[in-house]
């Protein structure tokens, strides 16, 4: 072992070491080994903490990647020439390695796979403002973005260290450590901070200190670390210094869409520009429900707040295979209702507290904000997928709680209020009853004719006549509405009784007309039915294993109750409608597993792209997530502040140095330029004495010019001071208002900023 010029020992190889190792030992003095050891400690600690932003983090992968980055930094330090070219190659290679470590499939790194890679990363970044950490989903683009962001930032730290850019190394390493430190509280945060601060200082000072100075620096570092650990708990506060969530919300590019699900039947005015509203990770397609419209008020279908208690998911015990678990990500939508598949059983892992709003439905608690872009949650629902034989075999058994699904309101005979009509269940042998003003003897036919629904009632009885089962009635009504008698049309006229006009005169409408008319006819035929609203399944994204739901998928359909099965979905809207066209893959047949469509054999578990089948979602845990701060948003903000601050500091230092090296002639040229910029041009032949006389009324400006003259003509005399410079700037802007002062600042900026 020998020592270099600063007294730091340099490792020398002993006998028996090979040539390559001998060369490495000669090139790597002890100070470099110390710097790399400190860098490795920083990277391991920071990257492990960053990976902790997701649930079940791959700690071993984080450690190995950090050690690999340290090796890259060491190799860059050994490159005597073309170091920047080597750094560029390393940056590209490490960017690819970061994506692989984060979970991106290898095939996506091929240029032919970038069409899938770029949208996936974009989706993950857009969802960051609404996530809860630790993020718990597996095989998700948000998870990939979080891990890749940490790996890329750690790679930047390693490259800066290899190029011996100590300032950048410290700044980037600080951001890499700070983001998870802010997002996640450690069991012993002060110890974790000290564990990062010590190797950071070692890396920063290893090249600059002699052996004698190193002992003193170690003592100072120990005292400072201990003092920081004692002071940090006092400075810790409840609120964040920078509210990143508020910043992310302010940067939201577009206002989220809201939908009013009550039927209107006028010209369709829903947004129809193809904007993505939801991403649903599910093994099979389903209709994603928002509301059930169970009340027909005489004109339209609407939600009924006063409902009788009803069992949730009738038939669930007999058909457990029809339970569906999905993950819903909200993108361009604002909603107080949770979107669920079929009859909602449970909502969990949500940034908002779900409360039951109806049998099989959940809404956001009244004291919380609605769900909006970036929010994600899990939902479980009961989605019956019976085959045709099971539907035909279902008997017409209807418990009392289904009475509300066999009732309608119709306008009263003389226009005074409404009449309540309850129809007898299919093949029950009973008769319908009517209750309301001016109803004599409960004559239902008279009530319906007076209210404008007489012909509709006759049509319902004609379609049900001779049917052997409830399903046969449903089939007849659906076939009737799907016949050539009716056509899909969005620009429709408004009517006093829109469904009557749709069935008897116009015979043109969109999903609200078709679903509303089908539910109306079924109730009149004694079949419990309701209208459901939400979204059609959307289009399948096989690469991401998700169904992409856009505003074109906003839809309305019918649910019919079958004994022993539950509420079964039927969609009478023609296939040329945007939502049903997507649900049917562009044709008139519903997806496999839907009533009326091809039925799957056995259990269906569709592959979700290159990742294979959808992994079962883990059991629900009762836990409170942390505030949804976007980790990479904070990282980007801190990096931007650090880069801007360092650029400003370097620029200021460089310009001050240039000013110090410049001579008085430079100051004279600057003075002439400043006068010209403030509207006081200097005539040819003007001397410094002339200018001193011009500012005779302003002592500060006069002293600046006098000092400039002395420095010019008396070698060694001091140049004008910052105070004299400020006095001249004030004189140049005086009397010209705020604009003149700004102009003077531009003409004669503070020293070092010009």
Residue at which a domain ends, from 240, 272, 290: 240
Q: Is residue 543 part of a domain?
A: no
Q: Collapsing DSSP states into helix, strand and coil, what is residue 281?
A: strand
Out of 9-18, 244-253, 280-289, 705-714, which region has the weakest mean confidence (pLDDT)? Answer: 9-18
Containing H/E element for 21?
helix 19-27
Q: Average pLDDT for residues 467-473, to the nearest whole number?
A: 94
Can you list the alpha helix ranges (DSSP code H) found in 484-630?
498-501, 511-524, 578-583
Segment 403-455, tens digit of pLDDT:
889 999 888 865 567 888 999 999 888 788 888 776 755 678 888 888 899 99
Residue at which a domain ends, from 188, 221, 240: 240
CA gap 108, 575 in Å, rounded: 35
For residues 751 and 343, the model is more confident at 343
Q: What's the length of the chain?
A: 754
State the pTM of this model.
0.51
pLDDT at 426: 92
Out of 63-72, 452-461, 733-742, which region has the weakest mean confidence (pLDDT)? Answer: 733-742
Q: Average pLDDT for residues 7-30, to the nearest whole number?
A: 46
Q: Average pLDDT for residues 274-299, to the nearest whole number?
A: 90
* 381 confidence band (pLDDT: 50, 70, 90): very high
- Most confident segment among 53-67, 424-438, 499-513, 676-690: 499-513
For residues 671 and 496, the model is more confident at 496
Sequence-ordered list of residues with C-beta below 8 angstroms from that of 29, at least 6 positions apart, any chain: 4, 8, 9, 10, 11
* 218 confidence band (pLDDT: 50, 70, 90): low
Residues 97, 109 contacting (CB under 8 angstroms): no
What residue numbers bound the domain in which 669 lies? 662-747
Q: Is residue 191 part of a domain?
A: yes
pLDDT at 212: 59
Q: Is residue 559 part of a domain?
A: no
598 DSSP 8-state letter:
P
Q: Is residue 617 part of a domain?
A: no
Segment 542-582, tens digit of pLDDT:
777 889 998 888 899 999 999 989 999 999 998 777 665 44
Residues 560, 292 contacting (CB under 8 angstroms): no
Determine the straight-line distance between the first and last CA of the chain, rounded to whole angstroms: 51
Q: Is residue 225 part of a domain?
A: yes
pLDDT at 8: 39
Closest by CA position to 323, among listed 337, 339, 338, 344? 344
* 615 confidence band (pLDDT: 50, 70, 90): very low
Complete DSSP assignment for 555-585: EEEEEEEETTTEEEEE--S-TTSHHHHHHTT
pLDDT at 263: 81
Residue 605 has pLDDT above 50, yes or no: no
Q: Is residue 752 part of a domain?
A: no
Q: Average pLDDT for residues 721-743, to the nearest whole number?
A: 76
pLDDT at 569: 93
pLDDT at 623: 35
Residue 270 has pLDDT above 80, yes or no: no
* 161 confidence band (pLDDT: 50, 70, 90): confident
CA gap 142, 354 in Å, rounded: 23
Mean pLDDT of the chain: 76
For residues 494 and 188, the model is more confident at 494
Q: Average pLDDT for residues 191-220, to the nearest whole number?
A: 67
- Strands 508-509 and 487-488, how do they pair? parallel
Q: Is residue 414 part of a domain?
A: no
Residue 202 has pLDDT above 80, yes or no: no
Q: Is residue 296 part of a domain?
A: no
Residue at which a domain ends, from 240, 260, 292: 240
Q: Domain total for the chain?
A: 2
pLDDT at 723: 80
């Amino acid at each position: 072992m020998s020592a270099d010029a600063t007294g730091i020992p340099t490792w020398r190889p002993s006998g028996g070491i090979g040539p390559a190792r001998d060369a490495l030992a000669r090139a790597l003095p002890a100070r470099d080994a110390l710097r790399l050891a400190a860098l490795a400690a920083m990277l391991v600690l920071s990257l492990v903490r960053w990976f902790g932003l997701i649930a079940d983090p791959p700690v071993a992968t984080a450690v190995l990647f950090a050690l690999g980055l340290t090796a890259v930094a060491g190799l860059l330090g050994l490159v005597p020439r073309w170091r920047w070219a080597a750094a560029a190659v390393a940056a590209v290679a490490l960017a690819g390695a970061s994506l692989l470590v984060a979970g991106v499939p290898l095939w996506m790194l091929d240029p032919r796979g970038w069409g899938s890679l770029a949208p996936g990363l974009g989706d993950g970044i857009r969802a960051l403002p609404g996530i809860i950490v630790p993020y718990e989903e597996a095989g998700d683009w948000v998870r990939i973005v979080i891990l890749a962001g940490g790996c890329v930032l750690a790679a930047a730290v390693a490259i800066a260290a290899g190029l011996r850019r100590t300032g950048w190394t410290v700044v980037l390493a600080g951001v890499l450590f700070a983001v998870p430190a802010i997002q996640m509280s450690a069991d012993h945060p002060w110890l974790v901070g000290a564990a990062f601060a010590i190797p950071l200082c070692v890396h920063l000072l290893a090249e600059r200190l002699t052996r004698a100075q190193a002992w003193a620096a170690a003592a100072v570092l120990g005292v400072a670390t201990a003092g920081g650990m004692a002071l940090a708990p006092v400075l810790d506060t409840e609120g964040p210094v920078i509210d990143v969530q508020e910043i992310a919300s302010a940067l939201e590019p577009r206002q989220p869409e809201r939908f009013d699900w009550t039927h209107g039947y006028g010209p369709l005015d829903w947004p129809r520009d193809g904007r993505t509203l939801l991403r649903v990770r599910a093994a099979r397609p389903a209709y994603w429900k928002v509301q059930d419209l169970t009340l027909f008020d005489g004109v339209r279908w609407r939600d009924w707040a006063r409902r009788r208690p009803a069992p949730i998911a009738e038939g669930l015990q007999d058909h457990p295979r029809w339970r569906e678990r999905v993950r819903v990500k909200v993108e361009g939508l604002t909603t107080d209702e949770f979107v669920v598949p079929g009859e909602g059983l449970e909502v969990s892992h949500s940034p908002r507290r779900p409360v039951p709003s109806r049998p099989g439905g959940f809404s956001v608690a009244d004291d919380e904000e609605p769900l909006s872009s970036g929010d994600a949650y899990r939902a479980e629902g009961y989605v019956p997928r019976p085959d045709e034989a099971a539907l035909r075999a279902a008997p017409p058994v209807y418990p009392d709680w289904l009475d509300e699904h066999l009732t309608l309101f119709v306008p009263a005979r003389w226009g005074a209020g409404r009449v309540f009509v309850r129809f007898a269940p299919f093949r029950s042998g009973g008769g319908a009853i009517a209750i309301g003003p001016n109803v004599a003897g409960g004559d239902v036919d008279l009530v319906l004719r007076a209210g404008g629904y007489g012909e509709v009632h006759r049509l319902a009885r004609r379609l049900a006549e001779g049917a052997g089962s409830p399903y046969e009635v449903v089939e007849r009504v659906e076939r009737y509405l799907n016949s050539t008698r009716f056509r899909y049309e969005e620009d429709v006229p408004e009517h006093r009784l829109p469904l009557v006009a749709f069935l008897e005169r116009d015979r043109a409408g969109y999903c609200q007309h078709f679903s509303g008319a089908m539910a109306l006819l079924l109730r009149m035929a004694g079949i419990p039915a309701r209208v459901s609203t939400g979204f059609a399944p959307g289009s399948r994204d096989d690469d991401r294993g998700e169904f992409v739901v856009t505003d074109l998928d906003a839809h309305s359909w019918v649910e019919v109750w079958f004994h022993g099965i539950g509420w079964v979905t039927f969609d009478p809207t023609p296939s040329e409608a945007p939502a049903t066209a997507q649900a049917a893959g562009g044709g008139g047949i519903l997806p496999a597993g839907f009533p009326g469509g091809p039925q799957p054999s056995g259990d269906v578990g569709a592959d979700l792209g290159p990742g294979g089948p959808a992994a079962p979602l883990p059991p629900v845990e009762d836990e409170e997530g942390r505030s949804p701060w976007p980790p990479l948003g904070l990282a980007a903000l801190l990096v931007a502040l650090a880069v801007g601050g360092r650029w400003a500091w370097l620029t200021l230092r460089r310009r001050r140095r240039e000013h110090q090296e410049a001579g008085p002639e430079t100051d004279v040229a600057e003075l002439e330029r400043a006068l010209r910029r403030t509207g006081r041009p200097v005539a040819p032949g003007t001397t410094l004495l002339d200018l001193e006389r011009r500012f005779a009324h302003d002592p500060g400006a006069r002293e600046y010019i006098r000092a400039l003259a002395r420095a010019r003509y008396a070698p060694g005399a001091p140049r004008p001071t910052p105070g004299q410079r400020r006095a001249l700037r004030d004189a140049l802007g005086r009397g010209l208002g705020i604009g003149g002062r700004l102009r003077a600042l531009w003409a004669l900026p503070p020293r070092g900023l010009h």
